[in-house]
Chain A
Amino acid sequence: MGTLYLTATHVIFVENGSETRKETWVLHSQISSIEKQATTATGCPLLIRCKNFQVIQLVIPQERDCHDVYISLIRLARPVKYEELYCFSFNPKLDKEEREQGWKLVDLNEEYNRMGIPNSYWQISDVNRDYGVCDSYPTEVYVPKSATAHIIVGSSKFRSRRRFPALSYYCKNNNASICRSSQPLSGFSARCLEDEQMLQAIRKANPGSDFIYVVDTRPKLNAMANRAAGKGYENEDNYSNIKFQFIGIENIHVMRNSLQKMLEVCELKSPSMSDFLWGLENSGWLKHIKAIMDAGIFIAKAVAEEGVSVLVHCSDGWDRTAQVCSVASLLLDPYYRTMKGFMVLIEKDWVSFGHKFNHRYGNLDGDPKEISPVIDQFIECVWQLMEQFPCAFEFNERFLIHIQHHIYSCQFGNFLCNSQKERRELKIQERTYSLWAHLWKNRADYMNPLYRSDHSQTQGTLRSRMAPCNFLYKFWSGMYNRFEKGLHPRQSVTDYLMAVKEETQQLEEELEVLGERLANLQKSQLNDNKDKSKQQERSKQLGLSTSNNSLANTPQEYSNDLKSFPSRSPSQGDEEDSALILTQDNLKSSDPDLSANSDQESGVEDLSCRSPSGGGCLPSEDSGKDSDEAIFLAV
């Protein structure tokens, strides 16, 4: 039982709890779909599915009210203008300079410098400075020294969306590189001298190898079908010294359906093991994850072990290409496994190279066929690697989950629009805040306690195996069942170990101080006993008693005889570590008096006249929820 509020940016449900006031905040941007379900005795259920895999069921007693809420939510969840998005009203109370600094935290020029560029083989090119050559590429691209502006422009005309081959990653140990592009417009027989020269230039930029790999991440059939449309792939006969390779990763439509099927499995009520495994297999999701990973492994091997450069493309070079290049970089370079490095990686291969965030993740209402969980898959690949190599990443699972959350939340401006050009036109950096600064500020929450920069797992290339290792791919319940508390261990080992680490550090520092004091005391020849007792205290203190055994959990329903009820244990009301709290805190602190903002609540106006409480425009609904049911649907 509780009250439902609709604001310009959130749906808020406040439970009528006697002691604790439990609030559930959902950003409109997070809403993926709303379903009106069949009316029951208690009322009309509305099922809200979110892009961060939260599922909420509201039961509204009156059918008419339910319909109104439904209509309002539909409108609110499908903004048509960027200005409707939360990032433009979000106010973390930072001043202009802090906002700017936040945006400067990740600097791609610095990153390419770190790689060792510019150098004798690679240079920065400003040929795209006004987006004149390719409007989905950044203004600054890195190309081989021997690629003149003429070659670049010529090549761009022969590539889908004019996305010519450009540098993604350079390995200074052996000069091998990973370049990326889109498919060539080769059709059945077309050729382009400049494009062929471009690939030659890439090859020449690596004196250690006399050929390059060209990797097409599409299934062969799809690529061949593209030829009929005047596009296609590189013909080994025309391009000298290339070895061509298909690595079949399915397209965005297949992936969208795959996720859909997997989420259906997650929504099954009390599935048997068979139901679950069948459903998971049927969705094909893990198979796709593995395909992306295998492609990344292939490229990483080519670069690290063979010392051969690779050119990667798919169709348009902004989905599968981004996935595969970033996985490969992660495997190759330990820097990307640090927190900062990971942010840089996403900024480089996803944001700057024009991954279509708006289309893929539905910032604005658009074509549902463009929606696809592309970056979600990449993030999952990272998680799978973290499970295989627990010491290798500086950040933890929570970091990944929060990043995924914010890609959809539109609370920060990093993942808006479809290209750098669009973002600059909208002046994103002047009008919104950077997620990276926010995460960086809270980095203590995101650390992996098992990470040590001098650990063997963190050095050099991560050697993951391609086969046989099907079993290494696990279902990520932390992401897809994120809000079902009953499924997860009650206390996080990560948090515990971080607490231990912190305390140990503090004690070590104290010991340093004591050590110095001891040196002074020894000089003045005091007796030892006093100091020995301090050391004993230290070892006693390290027997930590963080409250890790006071978390009583409740049993789920193990039997259908004792009670017929959904199989999830009810929400205990403990702190949800999700970014819901992030948004809640921030909104609260900046929440203007909402009664003054009636015009912002478009679509909600019709309800305000029905509001029982006279003041303000906040419609309040009595959502007649069954008191047994937790707000998080027993899915």
Chain B
Amino acid sequence: LCPTAPTDSGCPPPLAPQAMLRSSQPLTGPNRKRCREDEVLLGTVLDEGERGFIIDTRSAQAAKQARMTGGGTEPKSSYPQWRRLHRPLERGRQLQESFIKLVDACNDTTINMDRWLNRLESCRWLSHVKAALSTACLAAQCMDREEANVLVHGAEGTDTTLLVTALAQVILDPSCRTLAGFQGLLEREWIEAGHPFHLRCAHSAYSHARLKQEAPLFLLFLDCVWQLSRQFPFSLEFSERLLLTLFDNAYASAYGTFLCNNEKERCLCKVKENTHSLWAWLNQPGERQKYLNPLYSPNALVIWPSVEPQSIQLWQGLFFRWIRSSQYLDEAWAEIQWLVEGSEPPKDSAGNRLSRSLSDPTARPENAR
């Protein structure tokens, strides 16, 4: 099979006939090779007169340079109906450095208020969040507003590509915002699609060993989802707690879900036979409710986040998790839960009294006041 075969990706909302595809870079190389099968494949995606957008997560310059090592971009002449857009997203070493710097800054108790924002800015983590969200929104916009098909790729198709396609689906597709749908999204767009978890989530931010392949793409994805949950507090069925749990398990887990780097390796290691699935545990009735958002109300529409700097906040729940107490915020969430679900009220409610008296017909109901 042609090594550059794109794989069909997300299921956009049922009304839209557009498709979002992801792949890795075309192996154009310095000699401007062509691949008939690839061109036909991409050609069949588009109908007569339809357009497509290729979102390349490398800068135009980086993409050009990739030709020197055998990679490259889709030449316009061979793919006439596709328009290419470059949206460089940070990955690899740079992203890991950004992560490490941020964690450093958060742990630094000596910083003055004078310097805090500068420090935050120099990590550039929030810039990466903004860029990732913007690109995902762009992909979503192409599909939803321009009614075009979209192909996303970077270099390998295993990092920023997945970030964009997965995030775009959360934005576009309400079913991806349910707990079950989100799990399915992760399975499809991250695990099966071959994000190399083993390499990327090796040591996290405190380790001195700066591994070459380590990069927090998955965390960046979770951060973007958290931003969405903040901007659309009613639209995600799951809570921040799920995102934190996923973050934990990507790095170190009692379950086999995030093991290895791709499906092939998982087969070889017989992961499915020898380990338990994280989803199986999370979906148990007792566990599941801990990860639900009490404010959730199914929202059939597309959720368009604001990517202005004011709208993007530092994910305190993650980066200050061990530094400051979450007591007051947890209490607030407990209040919200209680208000919405009427569970565990602090005082004896009329409902409780009524149900008690109903279950024991002989008992005299207390006075209403």
List residues of A whose CB falls within 8 A of some B CB. Answer: 266, 270-278, 280-281, 284, 286-287, 290-291, 388-392, 449-450, 452, 454-457, 465, 467-475, 477, 481, 486-487, 489-491, 493, 496-497, 500-501, 504, 508-509, 511-512, 514-516, 518-519, 522, 528, 531-532, 535, 538, 542, 544-545, 548-556, 558-559, 561-562, 567-569
**Sample of 14 more A-B contacts, CB < 8 Å, known A497-B340, A500-B339, A549-B300:** A449-B339, A470-B113, A481-B310, A489-B233, A496-B234, A500-B340, A508-B349, A511-B351, A518-B365, A528-B358, A549-B298, A549-B299, A550-B301, A556-B306
Which one of B109, B300, B301 contacts A467 once the chains associate, using CB atoms below 8 Å? B109
* Nearest chain B CB to A531 CB, angstrom units: 7
Residues of A within 8 A of B351 (CB): 508, 511, 535, 538
Is there contact, CB below 8 Å, between B304 and A556? yes
Is there contact, CB below 8 Å, between A559 and B113? no
Instruction: Tell me, yes or no, whether B280 is within 8 Å of chain A by CB.
Output: no
Instruction: Tell me, yes or no, whether B48 is within 8 Å of chain A by CB.
Output: no
Residue of A nearest to B357 (CB): A518
* Nearest chain B CB to A247 CB, angstrom units: 14
Q: How far is the CA of A38 from the CA of B295 in the complex (A)?
A: 48
Instruction: Tell me, yes or no, whether B269 is within 8 Å of chain A by CB.
Output: no
Q: How far is the CA of A412 from the CA of B304 in the complex (A)?
A: 39
Residue of A nearest to B230 (CB): A489
Q: How far is the CA of A618 from the CA of B216 in the complex (A)?
A: 62
Residue of B nearest to A549 (CB): B299
Which one of B145, B304, B323 contacts A553 once the chains associate, using CB atoms below 8 Å? B304
Is there contact, CB below 8 Å, between B304 and A286? no
* Nearest chain B CB to A456 CB, angstrom units: 7
Is there contact, CB below 8 Å, between B313 and A474? yes
Is there contact, CB below 8 Å, between A277 and B342? no
* Nearest chain B CB to A285 CB, angstrom units: 10
Instruction: Tell me, yes or no, whether B286 is within 8 Å of chain A by CB.
Output: no
Residue of A nearest to B333 (CB): A390
* Nearest chain B CB to A115 CB, angstrom units: 27
Is there contact, CB below 8 Å, between B365 and A562? no
Which one of A491, A512, A518 contacts B234 once the chains associate, using CB atoms below 8 Å? A491
Is there contact, CB below 8 Å, between B355 and A535? yes
Residues of A within 8 A of B316 (CB): 471
Is there contact, CB below 8 Å, between B368 and A515? yes
A504 with B332: in contact, given A477-B310, A515-B350, A515-B354 (CB under 8 Å)?
no
Residues of A within 8 A of B275 (CB): none
Is there contact, CB below 8 Å, between A487 and B311? yes
* Nearest chain A CB to B49 CB, angstrom units: 19
Is there contact, CB below 8 Å, between B126 and A273? yes
The 8 closest A-B pairs by CB, nearest first: A276-B309, A281-B117, A390-B332, A555-B304, A277-B121, A470-B116, A549-B299, A511-B350
Is there contact, CB below 8 Å, between B85 and A535? no
Instruction: Tell me, yes or no, whether B273 is within 8 Å of chain A by CB.
Output: no
Instruction: Tell me, yes or no, whether B41 is within 8 Å of chain A by CB.
Output: no
Interface size class of B (residues with CB under 8 A): 35 or more
Is there contact, CB below 8 Å, between A497 and B339? yes
Q: How far is the CA of A631 from the CA of B304 in the complex (A)?
A: 22
The CB with the most chain B CB atoms within 10 A, among A278, A392, A467, A559, is that of A559
Residues of A within 8 A of B35 (CB): none
Instruction: Tell me, yes or no, whether B308 is within 8 Å of chain A by CB.
Output: yes
* Nearest chain A CB to B162 CB, angstrom units: 19
Instruction: Tell me, yes or no, whether B134 is within 8 Å of chain A by CB.
Output: yes
Instruction: Tell me, yes or no, whether B217 is within 8 Å of chain A by CB.
Output: no
Instruction: Tell me, yes or no, whether B3 is within 8 Å of chain A by CB.
Output: no
Q: How far is the CA of A577 from the CA of B115 in the complex (A)?
A: 36
The CB with the most chain A CB atoms within 10 A, among B304, B312, B316, is that of B304
Q: How far is the CA of A467 from the CA of B141 in the complex (A)?
A: 43
Instruction: Tell me, yes or no, whether B60 is within 8 Å of chain A by CB.
Output: no
Residues of B within 8 A of A518 (CB): 354, 357-358, 365
Is there contact, CB below 8 Å, between B328 and A389? yes
Q: How far is the CA of A388 from the CA of B138 in the complex (A)?
A: 34
Instruction: Tell me, yes or no, whether B130 is within 8 Å of chain A by CB.
Output: yes
Q: How far is the CA of A607 from the CA of B346 in the complex (A)?
A: 65
Is there contact, CB below 8 Å, between A273 and B314? no
Residues of A within 8 A of B206 (CB): none
Is there contact, CB below 8 Å, between A514 and B354? yes
Instruction: Tell me, yes or no, whether B114 is within 8 Å of chain A by CB.
Output: yes
A512 with B346: in contact, given A278-B118, A487-B311 (CB under 8 Å)?
no
Residues of A within 8 A of B300 (CB): 549
Is there contact, CB below 8 Å, between B358 and A493? no
* Nearest chain B CB to A482 CB, angstrom units: 11
A468 with B332: in contact, given A504-B342, A562-B141 (CB under 8 Å)?
no
Q: How far is the CA of A266 from the CA of B311 in the complex (A)?
A: 12
Instruction: Tell me, yes or no, whether B106 is within 8 Å of chain A by CB.
Output: yes
Residue of A nearest to B300 (CB): A549
Is there contact, CB below 8 Å, between B233 and A493? yes
Residues of A within 8 A of B324 (CB): 465, 469, 472
Give B102-156 interface residues, CB cut-off 8 Å to A: 106, 108-118, 120-121, 124, 126-127, 130, 134-135, 137-138, 140-141, 145-146
Is there contact, CB below 8 Å, between A558 and B309? no
Is there contact, CB below 8 Å, between A535 and B354? yes
Residues of B within 8 A of A390 (CB): 328-329, 331-332, 335
* Nearest chain A CB to B15 CB, angstrom units: 14
Which one of B126, B141, B314, B346 contacts A555 once the chains associate, using CB atoms below 8 Å? B141
Is there contact, CB below 8 Å, between B368 and A281? no
Is there contact, CB below 8 Å, between B308 and A487? yes
Residues of A within 8 A of B295 (CB): 493, 496
Q: How far is the CA of A496 from the CA of B232 in the complex (A)?
A: 13
Is there contact, CB below 8 Å, between A477 and B314? no
Residues of A within 8 A of B312 (CB): 273
A562 with B109: in contact, given A528-B361, A548-B297 (CB under 8 Å)?
no
Is there contact, CB below 8 Å, between A272 and B117? no
Residues of B within 8 A of A538 (CB): 351
Instruction: Tell me, yes or no, whether B40 is within 8 Å of chain A by CB.
Output: no
A497 with B311: in contact, given A472-B324, A542-B342 (CB under 8 Å)?
no
Is there contact, CB below 8 Å, between B303 and A272? no
Is there contact, CB below 8 Å, between B336 and A450? yes
Is there contact, CB below 8 Å, between A391 and B301? no
Is there contact, CB below 8 Å, between B335 and A273? no
Residues of A within 8 A of B365 (CB): 515, 518-519, 522
Which one of B130, B297, B304, B350 contacts A508 once the chains associate, using CB atoms below 8 Å? B350
Residues of A within 8 A of B353 (CB): 515
The CB with the most chain A CB atoms within 10 A, among B306, B312, B349, B361, is that of B306
